[in-house]
Amino acid sequence: MVNGSVVNRSVVNRVAQDRSGRRPVALTIAGTDSGGGAGVVADLKTFEAHGVWGACAVVAVTAQNTIGVHDVGLLAPSLVRAQIAAVAGDIGFDAAKCGMLGSAELVECVAEALVDAGPVPLVVDPVLISKHGDRLLSEEALVVMRARLLPLAAVVTPNLPEAEALTGIEVDDRGAMVEAARRIAAMGPRVVFVKGGHLAGPDSPDLVWTDGEGTWLESPRIPGRHTHGTGCVVSAAICAELALGMDPVDACVAAKHFIEHAITAGVDLGSGVGPVDPGWQRLSRS
């Protein structure tokens, strides 16, 4: 269950940061979604919903809608690195997240740019396959991600297929989620947040693993087909809370609360899988 005191702590941090005279900044490093439901667009919407200023380094441009990914263009690593350096050298950022990275060369480039920018909490969403089944990361890039990017991460947020790809084991029940989390933690991240949405059954449990122990975040499965962008919004919500000063484990709990509402408020757009709504708080106030 979601701990209400953890969620409230986010509000306290937000007020404290505002009084300091500087708005927290979160950086997303990911691809675009021309349909507006995932990637950089969803991340920036999520940052805004948390009261955090969003900056971005675009890694790829996709032609995408609710039906699928129709085309992908990767940017030059030098341009990606320049974007990260431009933000770091002037505005600065308090936390960062990585989403779709596309190639081994880009994963390596992003890891190097983040090291150069200096230590800030990093969320790695190991995006491998789109909601529609389109492959977004090569096997070679996955190897580089394990070696270069995961050791930099405060939090890594795999779903079950991504946990399988990272560990090489089948992940189809709670026991396997625990083993996968243990193996991913050995790759260097402080916290592993294994998302259980792909499990069969009426529940959608997530596992937060840190310091050799796991905590289950329990929730019933939310009905509805509009779930595009779920992983992006979860990782962006964690990133926003880290930018606000929240502990990584508490940030995972708060993000679980946030995404449950975003899924419930899913937007009926297009003829395929519609997006979740990071702006659900706006709707609840209207």
- For 85-136, write each residue's pLDDT tens digit: 999 999 999 999 999 999 999 999 999 999 999 999 999 999 987 655 556 6
Lookup result for tokens 């991340």: 43
227 is catalytic: yes
Counts of helices then strands in the chain (DSSP H, E): 10, 9
229 is catalytic: yes
Q: Which of 51, 195, 197, 256 is catalytic?
A: 195
Is-contact 226 280, C-beta < 8 A?
no
Is-contact 118 81, C-beta < 8 A?
no
232 is catalytic: yes
Would you state the pLDDT for residue 20?
59
Q: How far apart are CA 49 and CA 14, in angstroms?
A: 12
pLDDT tens for residues 27-50?
A: 999 999 999 999 999 999 999 999
Q: How far apart are CA 166 and CA 198, in angstroms?
A: 16
Would you state the pLDDT for residue 130?
60
Would you state the pLDDT for residue 2?
40
Would you state the pLDDT for residue 285?
63
Is-contact 24 94, C-beta < 8 A?
yes
Would you state the pLDDT for residue 3?
40
Ramachandran assignment for 171, one of left (phi > 0), alpha (psi -120 to 50 degrees), beta (any other):
beta
Please give the class, per CATH, of domain 4-272.
alpha beta
N- to C-terminal Cα separation, the chain:
27
230 is catalytic: yes
21 is catalytic: no
CA pseudo-torsion sign 228, 230, 233, 235 = negative
Would you state the pLDDT for residue 6?
41
pLDDT lower than 70: segments of the chain: 1-20, 130-136, 284-286
Compute how many other C-beta atoms are within 10 angstroms of the C-beta atom of residue 233. 27
Would you state the pLDDT for residue 271?
92
Q: Which of 231, 245, 266, 274 is catalytic?
A: 231
Would you state the pLDDT for residue 225?
84
User: What DSSP line would sit under 148-217, residue for residue?
Assistant: IIGGG-SEE--BHHHHHHHHSS---SHHHHHHHHHHHHTTS-SEEEEB-TTSSSSB--EEEEETTEEEEE
CA–CA distances in Å: residue 59 to residues 39, 215, 218, 257, 273: 10, 33, 34, 29, 24
For 167, the enclosing helix (H) or strand (E) is: helix 160-167
Q: Which of 56, 109, 232, 239 is catalytic?
A: 232
Q: How far apart are CA 43 and CA 65, in angstroms?
A: 17
Q: What are phi and psi of 121, to 5 degrees?
A: -60, 135
Lookup result for tokens 């129709």: 70
Would you state the pLDDT for residue 135?
65
Q: Which of 229, 245, 266, 274 is catalytic?
A: 229
Would you state the pLDDT for residue 11?
40
